[in-house]
Amino acid sequence: MDEVLPKHSADQVNIPSAADLDLVSAFLDSSWMEKGLSNLTQESYRRDLSQFAIWLNQRGSRLDVADSVAIQQFLDFRFQQKLSSRTSARFLSCLRGFYRYLLREGVLKENPVALIENPKLGKPLPKSLTESDVEALLAAPDVESPLGLRDRTMLEVLYACGLRVSELVGLTVSQINLRQNVVRILGKGSKERLVPMGEEAARWLERYLREARPVLLNNIPDEIVFPSTRAQPMTRQTFWYRIKYWAEVAGIQAELSPHTLRHAFATHLLNHGADLRVVQLLLGHSDLSTTQIYTHVAKLRMKQQHAQHHPRG
């Protein structure tokens, strides 16, 4: 690097420089305007770029003067920390967008990421649950209590509609149509989709709205469908803890993730013969290739069933 940068104190190198923070904020504002990035994606990009900026700052450099060598060294540094290839690929995707933005704004004349290749990624199979596991999980909450009825309804809606956890906890009354049993979801990139609910989930939702929700909200008018015990919108983390708790009650041994019921929704639909493009629309995937990984899960399940039940399996 040709530019000589000022030296920093020990405290200064542990935070991004003011100039770097300004560049990151401008990039995120631009990305939000152009692509409608979700809050989660913006937080992820801000975190990745801030970590890179701190690493550069500790070496007397900045984001707008980093070259491909520095970027590769940072990737090696992350690899030594045993971060996954998928995490590195996400960071590179963020970095490509960031430096394209700097080029477009005239801050840079060359793109330092242009010749850096993405790490090779395998396609891990999503973790799922068997249909009997799902039934056990749904039956675990005590529906005679307002909290238990709320949790049972959340699990039913999550599994029936294949929602992301963030979509479930952010659900509002105006998004639900119980006459037609559909839910209007605003997904990633502000893309809207209509998802059918199924009669079983609709019955639980109707009962919950009538019996438990007014109690949880202390009869205070509010749009949020699933409030916390403090009558506030529930966080994703809180609901995730609830899932893990009910899984323990149900005696489920399978490893769970926040997307487990969403994966189960997709896998079970395909196992029962649903069309892949229909599942793509229900999940809100913009690219069919994102949905196709579920066909591997379905095929694996079919092979297991064949091996277990066929006379010559």
Amino acid at 251: G
CB of 206 within 8 A of CB of 212? no
Other Cβ atoms less than 10 A from the Cβ of 271: the count is 17
CA distance 139 to 141: 6
Is-contact 262 158, C-beta < 8 A? yes
Q: For Cα atoms 190, 214, 160, give the angle at the middle one, nearest 5 degrees.
A: 45
- Residue 185's DSSP bridge partners are 193
Return the active site residues: 164, 188, 259, 262, 285, 294
- In sequence order, the 6+-apart residues with CB closer than 8 A to the CB of 178 are 202, 205, 206
> In a 3-state reduction of DSSP, which class is residue 193?
strand
36 torsion bin: left (phi>0), alpha (psi -120 to 50), beta (else): left
Q: What is residue 224's three-state secondary structure?
A: strand
**CA atoms of 144 and 131, how far apart (whole Å):** 24
The single-letter DSSP state of residue 84 is -
